[in-house]
Every structure is written in structure tokens, then in C-alpha cells.
Amino acid sequence: MSATTSNPSAGSDSQTMRAVLGFAAFGALLALVGFLQSWNVMLAIFNLCLISAVMALGVNIQWGYAGLFNVGIMGFAALGGVAAVLTSTAPVASAWQAGGLGILASGAVTLGVIALAVIAYRKLASGPLKTLVMLVVIIGGYFVIREVYDPAVAAIEADNPAQSGFLGGLGMPIMLSWAVGGVLAAAAAWLIGKVALGLRSDYLAIATLGISEIIIAMIKNEDWLTRGVKNVTGLDRPVPYEIDLQGAPWFTQLATDRGFDLVEGSSIFVKLAYAALFSSVLIAVLALCVLALASPWGRMVRAIRDNEVSAAAMGKNVTARHLQIFVLGSAVVGIAGAMLTTLDGQFTPGSYQPLRFTFLIWVMVIVGGSGNNLGSVLGAFFIWFIWIEAEIVGNWLMANATQFLEEGSALRTHLIDSAQHMRLFTMGIIMLLVMRFSPGGLLPERTASR
Amino acid sequence: MDVLNAITLFANFVFVPGLAYGAQLALGALGITLIYSILRFANFAHGDQMAFGTMVVILLTWWFQSLGVSLGPLPTALLALPLGMAALALYALAADKFVYRHYREIKAPPIRLVMASVGVMFVTNGLVRVIIGPDDQAFMDGERFIVRAGNFRRAMGLNEGLAIKSSQALTVVIAIALVVALFWFLNRTRTGKSMRAFSDNEDLALLSGISPQKVVTVTWIIAAALMTIAGTLYGLDKSFKPFTYFQLLLPMFAAAIVGGVGNPVGAILGGFVVAFSEVTITYAYKKFLTYLVPESLAPEGLMQLLSTDYKFAVSFIILVVVLLVRPTGLMRGKVI
Amino acid sequence: MRKLLMATTILAGLTGAAFADGHEVKMGVILGFTGPIESLTPNMAAAAELAMKEASDSGKLLDGKTIVPVRGDSTCTDAAAATTAAEKLVTADNVVAIYGADCSGVTTAIVNSVAVPNGVVSISPSATSPALTTIEDNGFFFRTAPSDARQGQVLADVLKDRGITNVAVTFTNNDYGKGLADSFQAAFEAVGGKVAISAAHEDGKADYSAEVGALAAAGAEHLAVFGYVDQGGKGIIQTSLDTGAFSKFILADGMIGESLIEAIGADLNGTIGTLPGSESQGAATFQDVAKAGGLEKVDGPYMPESYDAAALVILAMQKAGSTDRKAIADNIMAVANAPGEKIMPGQLAKALEMIAAGQDVDYEGASNVTFTEVGEATGSFKELEVKDGKFETISIR
């Protein structure tokens, strides 16, 4: 925030230079991978860079615009994955027949219980009677719900458990799920924001940590919804399959004309198609973010972030603004989560790990430059690249660094084995160093309007 | 007779494990609350720092074991405990010097300190995994049981057995001793009183000549001791694995907030509330009820309120309820 | 040595295929070298690499080609990491086939996202999920391990024969555990048994007392544990014994390992279990071959299947007469099943010679390989019982 004080226009220029240099350096790194390893590997890394960038943008909206510390990114990303399954898989008629009605009924009962509880909460005067009625409604309601819900779940999960055992989805194109993922994540964010916003700032952090773990637990255990840990594989694709391309006359023609290998070419073509889709989402989100930040709304949220007390004194509803920003940011994370599941072609709840999905994204945002949208994108690109390549380089370094030790010695084996854990350590050090010595990150927040 | 069986069953699967787990959580929450009320941030590195202290204890325990040193029926780890506490205190003070102090000096908003603690968490996590690896480590030795399930069953002539592990008894005894010592320190000694003054009103404390650096240092040393003891007891009772220590964060935070952040008595209460809720809500009462009611009324289902899959969700639900109904916590901690 | 080999192959991957002269053929070895079965995978990889070495040393593979294994880490659980590793093997290292992966979830991921799209055969020694039977693999996926649908059936039969009618089941909360628990429950109920409770446990928890409490409450005397030996399964058994909740256990393949007996001790005596495998001549021969090959361990779980998986690829390569990926895939069935002369472990040189001479072979190998139409082992299982602190084979089913 203080880096660009002396001369605003010159500062802005050097900002642009930094951005151009940063992205050029990233391009060079990718090219290096392309030449040294393979273009397929390069594109695979790049696609994940794009998705990470969208996720980092979502987090940047929360942290950079409003100073909200969300430690539950993993949960919102997983909801995106749920959306991908629920949108794209075909409905399972026999499962619906077995327990669809029961699930719907238990949903209705749940809503009824909540409504009753809300009515009791609003209508009754405070006192022991109110507490008693609330307890009876909630605990009694819980048993009624379980009475309807349990047999329905058992019926659905017993329906061809090895291949299916869930209700299935809507059978719609998977691209639609990106929007649905945003909506699901937004809904979860609204609930958690209602509870935790307006209290101490670190309560939100603790609450999001909890909700993300619970979302993962539900996804793992509610088999009737998304097959739980049995995973959903072979999800729909928005792009053609490699194997179809290899059989398509136009593509084989192209391969012979241009003289590239058919199999490798098809794989690259598919990755390029994904890259195009993800890039358009990234550019759209980025453009919206930039526009929003420059609008009166953007100025207001930054004013709130920099001084909540005076913003509140000016009549701004701080908590409502925070809720809005929290919901928006989480929705963007949800979109990215759906995109990730689409790219994987499968939904595997076991692979959601907090270090990979929550804290890594945080490092991206901090390194990139909190508050600066382009910075988050650049941070995401670089950090994902380091995360992926660090293991290879780390292994290589460890192998060389331990050359002097006797082959097969316990210490040497141990050090080589632990190379992979060095990346957690490295990420932590990077995060602490950037926070301390370069709080603006790679691309510090612009203060051009001053 | 059947009532006795029911009570034994309940004690074996709910009360004894809940008591030990509650004591472990209470010690963890006590550390969180201490750091919170004096250093004024939620320490996300708490779980991983616990793992760090425990790791040092484990390594020393192995060394002692290889030397043939032991405490007889007690676990050797107790011998290594003071050294582990010292090592973690040094580590925590180093983290304070290189990371947290800067943010205190520039008077950064608390959330910055929280983020810095996430960075420390990452680094600690990596260090622990590099040094001792990500896997389970067993370091319990000595006599494992005070009461064995089989012996109890035979001696009492019951269907059900009651097992009391020495680690469980040890946990409760050490936790009580530690809490007494801590309260004595906070209420009776000069340093303890200055810490409380600092926590109540930082500016006033500074005016009255209390050295902030000393308060911070003492706080980290006490917190490190609490972390190492909590971590070691947890590891002895269950098992040591770096990732599970990270996962303890949520129940520990829940315990601290439920009890009332900044309130040491609240942290202890919160620890037991969270632990007993987790155990009682996920326990299946079928067998318990079968002992109590006439045969014709014996339950068919498992009589389980919540599947064990959602065990840790319980701490979160309690947390949310408390935040909604009574954000200051059961014991009225401070809320800014 | 293994680590050095790994480091150098990684280095080779970084700098591009530096030493790929015409005589070397690369084969991917992708297993969970880290993760919940990391104590099993080094032995599995060693068994597979033994077959590769045997073929290379014979000098008879496609006129003297040698096979170089390139390792990748499947992590056993993280699908994204596994596909990235497989992608690198296939596109950067240009392997002709993949031996692996190990756990069912990551195997499915690799088949769907890497093997089928790139037309590379993937042959797993240990992925046993029933769902893999119907995966759309276009002929690029095989497994030398039988489906868990079969293991569930065998376990149910074992219990029935022993007169056990009421069990509590706990499974590791992933596709392997859940799939096996489902198939076991269906089979057990079909033979008149009763599953009192079927509850998941998460791996990597420190404390399983709540899970054990719930399992014990259901009132069964036996506890069936479908988990991993280095993970939660061990914790469940330890806690059950500590609290006196169960003393009789039934184990599935993932739980069979020496480390379990080392950890638990004499209390485990009387435990019964099943493991894919046979007491055939092939299994015994394999142990001799492995001993002669200098392997540290010769009777580890899935080692025979691993050796066979690698051997099948090698023989198919010879049959195809080329290292073309598609041709290898197309010839696996031909060498795995009748007609032809039966081939035992250690006879790869003979088999290569016969194929070169245009004769048919029927690879039996260490695990009695016979493939079903979809390319998975029909599978025989060993019924094991722990006696005096050792797993002993009672019968073959």
C-alpha cells in the first residue's frame, strides 16, 4: 500500500511492468517444461494453474476486498465437485423408485421442523418455556427426520451398490455445473456467514475450518447423494474424448497434414480445449472483479476494510457488506471447484485435503499480492507450478545432497523419503517471508486513484 | 445385576474415554485461551506445535529406551517430558521473535497474527514430517493397564468388562495437577498477576511498569509446557500421528470458545463439554438399554444419535450453537 | 539402491530420455509408495521388476531388448496426484505399458484419464473394487487380482463353514472398503448370516474408541475388519482388545500383513482371513525365484500378482512382435489364457523363445492367471488363520 506513493503515474507504470515481466517469466517457465518434459505435461500444469487462479480470485475477493479470513476453501471447492456430479450424471430411475420419495419427504420434514423452530423462537417470550419448546421441537424433529430418512437412504444405497447406489443427477451438460457449483457454495457461505460474521474476526476463520471438514465428512458418508467414498468416475466431458478424436476423420486428416503424432496430438488437443474453456472463465471472473473494484461499491468495501469503525460511522452496514463479499468469494471458489472436478473427470471425496485445497490457495493469494486481482492470478500460476515441480526438484536435490552419505544408510534413506514434506515447509517459509518483507506480494494493490 | 452391567458398559465406552479425552482437550484449550487472552490471536499453529513438542518427547523416549532407562510401570515418556517442554518453548520463542513480534510492534490487526500463525503451522507441520515422518509412532511403554477388561469381568462376575488404561489415569492426574499449578501461578505469583493485568488491560498494565516482553516470554513458555503435556498425553493414550494433531485444532478451538475465550476455567469446562458431547452423542445405546429395560422392550435399532462418521462434527455444532445463542461462551469470556 | 534408481530415473525424466537407445523399453511402475499401503508397495514393485529383469537378462525379448522400470507414486488415495504421475510416465517417459496402479480409486482414475485416452495398457496387481469389472476400458485395463465381489463371497462361505452367523463389520472409508463391505454383506446374508452393524472407520485417526463402542453395541461376537494393515484397521483391532469389546476378528486382504501381528501379538491368535493367492506349484516356484533374485521378502501380499502383471506385459510384447502400445494390449488375453503350454514363474526365457517360434503359451505364473472376458483374474483365495503368531493357510477357495 505504501510502495507507490511518491509518483502515482510512475508507480502505475512500474506496476504494469512488473505484471508484464511476471507473466512473461511464467510463460518462459512453461516453455521450459514443454521442451524438457513434454507439451502434454506443460498443458496439464497450465490447466491446473488456470483453475487455481480462479480459486485464488475468489479468496482474494474475501481477503483483499474485505479482510475476511476463510480457512474453509476446501469445503467450497468440494461443493463445486458435488455440483458437477449432481448436474451431469444420469438420474438412476430404480434408486428414485426405491427411496426418492423418502428423501424428498425427509427434506420436507426438515423444512417443517426448521419452520416450527423459527416460529417458536420468534413468537414465544424468553424464558424456560421457550427453551423447553425449542428443545422439544429440535430434538423431537431430529428423531422424526431420522425415521423418514434412514429407510430411504438404506433403500437407495442397496440399489446396485457396486455400480450405482445413489440417486444420480439431472443428466444435464457438465458445463452447467460450474454455475450450480457457484450457487451451492454461495448458499453454504451464506449460512456460515450469518452465524460467524459480525463476531470477532477470527471466529469466521474457525467456523470456516469447521464447515469445510463437515462438508467433506457429509460427502464421504452420504452415499445416496454422490456415492460417497465409492467415487463417481467417468463424468461427462465438455470436450471430445481423445479416443474419439483418434478415430475422427477430420482429426486424422489434420494429423497427417501437419505431421504430428495422432495419439499425442489428440491428448494435446483435448487439453487445449480445456485450457480455452478455463481461460474464458478466468478472464470473465477477472474482468468482473476489476470492474467491481473500480466501481463505487469497490470503493466502499475497501473503505470498510481499511477502517471499519469510520465506515460504520458513515452509515455503511459493515456486516451486510461482509456477508455479501463472503458469499460472492465463496461462489467463485465453488465455480473453480466444479471446473476442477470436470477436468479430473471424476469426483473422489478422499482427495480433498486441507493443505492442498485451503492453505495452498492462501499462499497463492499472499504471494500474488492481496487485494490485487492480477496479482492473485500470477501468484496462483507461480505457486501451482512450484507445488508441482517442487517434488521432482526436491527429490533430485535430496538425492544429490545426500551423495556423501553411505548408500543405504538410514539417515540417507530417511532424508530422501522426506523430500516430499519439504514442500510444506517451503510453502510456509515463502508465506511468512512474503507477509513480513513484502506484504504487497508480487503485484501490490494499486492505489492509483490517489 | 443388569444395572451393574449397564453402568460398567457405559463407564467402559463413554465415561472413562470421555474423561481422558476431555482432560487432553482441556489442556489444549487452556493453551489456546492463554495465547488468545495475552497475545490476542487465535493460534492456528497450536495443533502442530503440540505435535512438535510430542515429537521431541518421542525421540528422547526412544533414546532413553535404547539406553535402558525406564520408569518401571510408568511410561518413559514422562522422563523426557521436561526436555520436550524446553525444546518447544525455545521453538515457540524463536517463532515469536522472527514472526509474531513484528506484527505486535506494527500493531497489525489480529487477523494478520492469525495468518502468521497459519504460516508457522505450515512450517512446523513440514518440520515434524521431515524429522519424524508422517506415520503413526508408538512410544508407550511400562504397564499399559490399571484395570484390564477381562480381569474386571471375571473378578466382578459381570458380562461386561471395564478397562482403565494407565495412560487414561495418568492423563487425568497430570491434568488436575497442572491446572492447580497454573491457577496458583496466575493468582498468587507476581508474574502471574502481571500476566492477568496485561490480559485485562494492556495499556494500563504498560503504564504500571509491567514489562511486555517478559509477559510474552512467560506466556509462550507456559503455553509450550501445556502443549507438550497435552500432546504427549494424547499420544500416549491414543497414538502419535502429525495429521491427527492438526485435526485436534477444531475441537480445541471449540472447547476454548464454548467455555468463553480468555477464561481459563471456561477452557477446562469447554474441553469436557466437547469431549463428552462427542462420545455420548455418537455412542450406540442398544446394548446399554437392553440391560436396563425388560426383554420385550429391547431396542431393535442401534439407538445411536449420530453416526461415528460425524464425531468431529459434534464439536462444530456445539460451537455454532454457542456462537448463535451465547457468543461470549458459557463462562463469559471476553468478546471484542 | 532402490532409492538411487528412483532418483536417477527421475533425473532422467527431467533431462529428457537421455539414455534411451534402441535397446531399452520403458515400463511404468505406478504404486502407492507413500500412503496407506506404503509398507506393501516396495515388495510389490520389487516382484514386478524381478520379472522385467528376468526377461531382460534372457536376451530373448524382441531380439535382445531390455526393460527399464520407471517408477511413479500413486499415493493410493489422491486421484489427481496419481493421474499426474501416470501422465508424466506416459507422455514424458514414453513408457510402453503401465504396471499398476494399486488401490482401486486411483486405478480407476488412471484408467479413465490416462490409460484409455493415450491407448496405454494398465495392468493392476491389487485393485479389487467390483466397479472396475464394468469400467469402459476399450481393452486397455487388466488386473491379476480378483474382484472383491468374489472375496466377499469367499469370506461369507468361510464364515458359514465355521458356523459363524452374526458379525459386526467395519470398513475403511473408501471405495475398496465400502465395496468389499457391500459385497460381503450381500453374500453373507444370502447364506443365512446376519450383519449386526456395518460401520465405516476413517484411516489416520488416533482414536477409535467411539467406533469400537458402536460396533460392540450391536451385539455380535466377531468383528470383520476390511481396512489397511498400516492404518485404521490396526487401531480398530487394538482398541477392541483394549476395551474388551471383541476378541475374535475376521480380516480381508488389506489387513493381512506381518506388521499387524508384530503390533498386536498373541491376542491375534485365532483370527481368520482371506487373501488372493493359491498354494499351487506356481506360488511355491515364485518364492524360489524371488529368493534366487535376491528379494528381501518373498511371500508378501500381492507379490505374485505383481510378478504376473509384469510378466504378462512382457509376453504380450513378444507376441505382438513390437513395443507398440496398442499391440501389447491386444495380445495380453492371448498369452494369459489357454491354449498353449503352461508357463511358470522363472520360465519367462522359455516362454519368450516359444512365442518367437510362433507357439502358443498359457501363462499360469505365480497366481494361476486365468482371465475372465473383461480381463480380470477369476481368482482363488487362501483361507488364513493366525496360529502361534503366524498366518497359516488353512485351505484354498
pLDDT in tens, A376-387: 999 999 999 888
Touching C: A residues 257-296, CB under 8 Å: 263-264, 266-267, 270
pLDDT recorded at residue C75: 81
pLDDT at C39: 73
A442 close contact with B: CB closer than 8 A? no
- Mean pLDDT of all residues in A121-133: 85
In a domain, B278, yes or no: no
> What backbone phi and psi angles, to 5 degrees, belong to B2?
-70, -30
The pLDDT tens digits for B79-118 are 999 999 999 999 999 999 999 999 998 988 888 899 899 8
Note the pLDDT tens digit of each residue in C317-341: 999 988 888 899 999 998 988 888 8
CA distance A23 to A382: 9
Q: Are strands C166-172 and C194-201 parallel, antiparallel or unpaired?
A: parallel
> What residue numbers bound the domain in which B235 lies?
15-246
Domains and CATH numbers, chain C: 2-145+280-363 (3.40.50.2300), 149-270 (3.40.50.2300)
Helix (H, G, I), strand (E, B) or coil at A286: helix
pLDDT exceeds 80 at position B122: yes
Evaluate whether residue B5 is within a structural domain.
Answer: no
C370 touches chain A (CB under 8 A): no
| Rounded (to 5) percent helix, strand, coil in chain A | 80, 0, 20
The overall longest dimension of chain C from CA atoms, in Å, is: 65
Using CA atoms, how far apart are residues C166 and C180, in angstroms rounded to an integer? Answer: 17
Q: Which chain A residues contact residue B126 at CB under 8 A?
A: 421-428
Q: What percent of chain B has pLDDT over 70?
A: 98
pLDDT digits (tens, 9 = 90+) for A336-372: 999 999 988 888 887 788 878 888 899 999 998 878 8
Q: In this complex, do A418 and B129 lie within 8 Å of one another by their Cβ atoms?
A: yes
Rounded mean pLDDT, A268-283: 94
Tell whether C374 lies on the interface with A, counting CB pairs under 8 A: no
> Do residues C373 and C337 lie in contact, with contact meaning Cβ atoms separated by under 8 Å?
no
Phi, psi (rounded to 5 degrees) for C277: 150, 175
Task: With respect to residue B186, please indicate whether it lies within any of the assigned structural domains.
Answer: yes
Number of A/B CB contacts below 8 angstroms equals 126
Ramachandran quadrant class, A330 (left: phi over 0; alpha: psi -120 to 50; beta: rest): alpha
More confident residue, A294 or A56: A56
Residue whose cell numbers read 503359451:
C361
A199/B323 touch (CB, cutoff 8 Å), yes or no? yes
Assess contact for B248 and B57: CB atoms under 8 A: no
Nearest-CA distance from A353 to chain C in Å?
9
Band of residue A309 on the pLDDT scale cut at 50, 70, 90: confident
Between the CA of residue C10 and those of A262, A397, C93, what are the distances in Å?
27, 11, 10
> Of B334, B41, B4, which is closest to residue B162 (Cα–Cα)?
B4
pLDDT tens digits, A311-344: 888 877 888 889 999 999 999 999 999 999 998 8
Chain A residues inside the 8 Å CB shell of C140:
none
Q: What is the 3-state secondary structure (H, E, C) of chain C?
A: CHHHHHHHHHHHHHCCCCCCCCCEEEEEEEECCCCCCCCCHHHHHHHHHHHHHHHHHHCCCCCCCEEEEEEEECCCCCHHHHHHHHHHHHHHCCCCEEEECCCHHHHHHHHHHHHHHHCCEEEECCCCCHHHHHCCCCCCEEECCCCHHHHHHHHHHHHHHCCCCEEEEEEECCHHHHHHHHHHHHHHHHCCCEEEEEEEECCCCCCCHHHHHHHHHCCCCEEEEECCCCCHHHHHHHHHHHHCCCCEEEECHHHCCHHHHHHHHHHHCCCEEEEECCCCHHHHHHHHHHHHCCCCCCCCCCHHHHHHHHHHHHHHHHHHCCCCHHHHHHHHHHHHCCCCEEECCCCHHHHHHHHHCCCCEEECCCCCCCECCCCEECCCEEEEEEECCEEEEEEEC
Smallest CA–CA distance from A401 into chain C, residue: C7
Q: Give residue A200's pLDDT.
A: 77
Percent of chain C with pLDDT over 70: 94
pLDDT value, residue A445: 75
Q: Do B327 and A199 touch (CB under 8 A)?
A: yes
d(C-alpha B160, C-alpha B158), whole Å: 5
d(CA A447, CA A440): 12
pLDDT at A391: 65
Collapse the DSSP code of B248 into the 3-class scheme (helix H, G, I; strand E, B; otherwise coil) and give the result.
coil
Overall number of domains in chain B: 1
Q: Which of C279, C280, C217, C266 is nearest to C237 (CA)?
A: C266
Phi, psi of C222 (to 5 degrees): -105, 145
- Residue carrying the nine cell digits 509477559: B215
Is the model's pLDDT at A6 over the cut of 80? no
Distance separating alpha carbons of residues B42 and A150, to the nearest angstrom: 39
Judge whether residue A28 has pLDDT over 80.
yes
Distance CA C233, CA B57 (A): 26
- The vertex-C311 CA angle with C309 and C316, nearest 5°, equals 100
Q: Do A214 and B111 touch (CB under 8 A)?
A: no
| Touching chains, C (3+ CB pairs < 8 A) | A, B
Q: Is pLDDT of A395 > 70?
A: no
- Residue written as cell 534408481? C5
Q: Which residues pair with C341 in a beta bridge?
A: C361
Average pLDDT, chain A: 85
What confidence tier does B221 reach under pLDDT thresholds 50, 70, 90?
A: very high
Q: CB within 8 A of A72, min separation 6: which ones?
A: A192, A207, A208, A209, A210, A211, A212, A215, A358
**Rounded distance between C-alpha atoms, residue A80 and residue A180, angstroms:** 7
This complex has an ipTM of 0.86
Q: Which triple of cell numbers denotes residue A148?
A: 423418514
Computed over every residue of chain B, the mean pLDDT equals 88
Report CA torsion sign: A382, A385, A388, A392.
negative
Asked if the C-beta of A410 comes within 8 angstroms of chain C's C-beta atoms, the answer is no
The pLDDT tens digits of the residues spanning A174-190 come to 999 999 999 999 999 99
Grid cell in block for residue B164: 482403565
**Could you tell me what percentage of chain B is helix, strand and coil, using 3-state DSSP and rounding each to the nearest 5?**
75, 5, 20
pLDDT for the residue A428:
87
Contacts of A202 in chain B (CB under 8 A): 41-42, 110-111, 114
Nearest CA in chain C to A262: C118
Residues A229, C92: C-beta atoms closer than 8 Å: no
Q: Which residues of A touch B310 (CB under 8 A)?
A: 214, 217, 221
CB contact under 8 A, A37 and C108: no
Closest-CA residue in chain C for A34? C92
pLDDT of residue A406: 65
The β-bridge partners of C385 are: C272, C392
Render pLDDT for B265-287 as a digit per residue (tens, 0 to 9).
Answer: 899 999 999 999 998 998 888 88
Q: In chain C, which residues have pLDDT < 70?
A: 1-22, 36, 279
First to last CA, chain A: 11
Q: Taking a contact as any Cβ pair under 8 Å apart, which residues of chain A between 199 and 228 contact chain C?
A: 220-221, 223, 228
**pLDDT tens digits along A72-117:** 999 999 999 999 999 999 898 888 988 889 999 999 999 999 999 8
Gap from A207 CA to chain B (nearest CA, Å): 8
Q: In chain A, which residues have their Cβ closer than 8 Å to the Cβ of C5?
A: none
Dihedral (CA of A212, A216, A217, A222) sign = positive
